[in-house]
Amino acid sequence: MSGKADSAVIAVVDTGICNLRSVTKALEAVGATVLSVKSPKEISSQVQGLVLPGVGALNACVGSLLASGLVDTVKGWIRDDKPFLGVCLGMQALFEHSEEGNVKGLGIFPGKVVKFQRPSGIKIPHMGWNTLTLSQRESPLMVGLNEGDSFYFVHSYHCAPAEQSLVLAECDYGGRFTAAIGKGKVFATQFHPEKSQAKGLSLYRNFATLSLRNR
C-alpha cells in the first residue's frame, strides 16, 4: 500500500479484542493512511508509525501478540525508537506484570499494572471523562493540549511505572495514577483518544505528524 506524500502510514495491530474500527477511523480523520495488521509480514518498510490498541483483559491481548508472532516486532519497533502509540491495554501490555489474572506483560518498561483501590465515593471501573495533569509539557504528543483537558477512560486497572521519568500525564481518581507515558518516540495512554472528541483527535494528529517525520 502506498500512502500520499503528506500522509503518515500507520499500522494498527489487530489483536482481535481491540476497538480497531474506531482507532482506524480516528487516524484516518487526521489524515493518516492506516493499515490493520495481524502478523509481522504485514508491517512493510512503508510503515512509519505503529499503534497497539486494546479493550478487555490483558491476558487475551498478550496471548494474541504471542500467537501472531508480533511480540518481537513490537519490542523491536520500540527498541529502535520508532513512533509507537499504545492505547488502554496497549499501554498496560508494555509493563512487566499485571494483577489482572496475574499476567506477565511484555516487560518493555519496568513497573506493574495494579487494580484501583475502592476509597469511598468512587466506582470501579473508572469510566468517563477525567482531566489530565501534564508531566512532560514539551512532549510532541501533547502539542496543542493544555493542563486540565479531559479525555475518556474505561478501566479497572492502571499502570504503576517504576521510573517516574516515563510519566507523561496523570489523573486523579481516588488518588493519582498514570494516565500516559512517553519516552523518545514511544508513547501510550490509558485513556481512549478515539473516544475523546476533538482533544483525542489532536493527540492522534500529533502522533501522525511525528510518524511522518520518521520517513
- Which residues does the annotation mark as catalytic? 88, 192, 194
Residues in the chain: 215
Q: Where are the extended beta strands (E) located within the chain?
A: 9-13, 33-37, 49-52, 84-87, 97-98, 103-104, 111-115, 126-131, 133-134, 150-155, 157-161, 167-172, 176-183, 186-189
Q: Using omega within 30 degrees of 0 as the cis cutoff, is the peptide bond preceding 125 cis? A: yes
Q: Determine which helix (DSSP H) or strand (DSSP E) holds 199, and give its type and residue range.
A: helix 197-212
Burial state string for 114-145 with b = 16 or more CB within 10 A and e = fewer than 16: bebeeeeeeeeebeeebebebbbeebebbeeb
Sequence letter at residue 197 = Q
